[in-house]
Amino acid sequence: MTSCQAWPEPVVRVQALAESGLSSIPSRYIRPLSQRPSNTTSFTPHNPSQTHLHHDLDSGRGHGHVNIPVIDLKHLYSEDQVLRKKVLEEVAEACREWGFFQVVNHGVSHELMKSAREVWREFFNQPLEVKEEYANSPSTYEGYGSRLGVQKGATLDWSDYFFLHYMPPSLRNQTKWPAFPPSLRKVIAEYGEGVVRLGGRILQMMSINLGLKEDFLLNAFGGESEIGACLRVNFYPKCPQPDLTLGLSPHSDPGGMTILLPDDFVSGLQVRRGDEWITVKPIPNAFIINIGDQIQVLSNATYKSVEHRVIVNSNQDRVSLAMFYNPRSDLLIEPAKELVTKEKPALYSPMTYDEYRLYIRLNGPCGKAQVESLASQS
């Protein structure tokens, strides 16, 4: 497989389509019946006075009652070993049982989170011709985009995005980041620093919880200055027929781990749990963390990446910032030797992240097809 230099069809900006006032969506966005969201009722904006953290992984069933675990990281570096251990255990359980969790008291400034969301909203609210200056191609995906994958005739998602490299510093090229609003580059540089620092802490917790040295995963990713981190800012415009389409198709994240800043007011992210799709209720100022395919491989499937998708709605657009925390792209990723036993042999053969991500770059989001096909080959 080689990378592709151009989109197979003229690119349509979904935001422009939505703003044209159409009452029915073009057939390219209509999904087959079995893939349509069965429930497009958005979660009501969170009422901060009702904030409660629950750790009961199986509390309630059915729509509106189940949420991914919420973990308070306040005591992560506490002198009190009992409190610290409790945080580690909660993270371990969430990684094993859900592959998804929210964190609060994570150390990233709430002001910075708010500014990061605001600058991207400002970017997307500019005239189309300004955004088109950053139009991307499938060879690197960097810039302003409206589709993932290059399959001609594919069903498209109801979203636009901006994709940029943050780490390693050699790939960070601020001239490719939007010049407007004027504060965007500075805000995103600071935001990236905070989020990448948080990512390092989470990797450390996961390493300890897997019974590995605390810097195992960070080193497997290439070490502090060599890890990969890319930001995809997703913009999901209002949609006149949200029950026929998806903002983002089902997929697991191909990289290591994702740190997502969701929209505070509009829900949309759904996580697969068995045959159900659970709509995540965002907690104000929390990040949503999820395990990607590379941690599934490194942990020899002790932790699994989990399929997720995004639904849209007819009342409000939605912005989310997904920071993908990845291994350096040319390192071989394989199950940690410590987690390979006679009873549980290595489920995956070594592969670089560069090779791995080519699949999604060509095919777009495909559920868990890629990581599952690897396990069945070895």
Closest CB to ligand AKG among residues 123, 216: 123
82 exposure class (CB count in 10 Å sphere: 0-12, 13-18, 19+): exposed
Rounded Cα distance, 375 and 305, in Å: 13
CB of 161: closest distance to ligand AKG in angstroms?
Answer: 7
Closest CB to ligand AKG among residues 14, 260: 260
Closest CB to ligand AKG among residues 222, 250: 250
Closest CB to ligand AKG among residues 207, 267: 267
CB of 321: closest distance to ligand AKG in angstroms?
Answer: 9
Closest CB to ligand AKG among residues 210, 260: 260
At residue 27, the 3 state secondary structure works out as: helix
CB of 82: closest distance to ligand AKG in angstroms?
Answer: 34
CB of 72: closest distance to ligand AKG in angstroms?
Answer: 21
Amino acid found at 251: H
What tokens appear for 164 in the block? 């940029």
CB of 324: closest distance to ligand AKG in angstroms?
Answer: 8
Closest CB to ligand AKG among residues 115, 279: 279
Q: Are 245 and 29 within 8 A, CB to CB?
A: yes
Amino acid found at 361: R
Rounded Cα distance, 66 and 184, in Å: 36
CB of 86: closest distance to ligand AKG in angstroms?
Answer: 28
Q: Are strands 257-261 and 318-326 parallel, antiparallel or unpaired?
A: antiparallel
CB of 243: closest distance to ligand AKG in angstroms?
Answer: 18
Rounded Cα distance, 262 and 350, in Å: 33
Q: State the residues that interact with ligand AKG by CB under 6 A.
A: 232, 234, 248, 253, 260, 262, 268-269, 308, 310, 320, 322
Q: Are 266 and 238 within 8 A, CB to CB?
A: no
Rounded Cα distance, 107 and 190, in Å: 13
Length in residues, the chain: 378
CA distances from 308 to 100, 123, 221, 255 (A): 10, 26, 23, 14
CB of 323: closest distance to ligand AKG in angstroms?
Answer: 10
Q: Are 306 and 367 within 8 A, CB to CB?
A: no
What secondary structure letter does DSSP report for 135? B
Q: Are 104 and 51 within 8 A, CB to CB?
A: no
CB of 269: closest distance to ligand AKG in angstroms?
Answer: 3
Closest CB to ligand AKG among residues 76, 164: 164
- Sequence-distant (6+) residues with CB within 8 A of 346 are 300, 334, 335, 340, 378
What tokens appear for 350 in the block? 């070594």
Closest CB to ligand AKG among residues 300, 320: 320
Before 138, cis peptide (omega within 30)?
no
Closest CB to ligand AKG among residues 232, 272: 232
What secondary structure letter does DSSP report for 256? S
CB of 134: closest distance to ligand AKG in angstroms?
Answer: 18
Rounded Cα distance, 216 and 206, in Å: 9
Closest CB to ligand AKG among residues 209, 320: 320
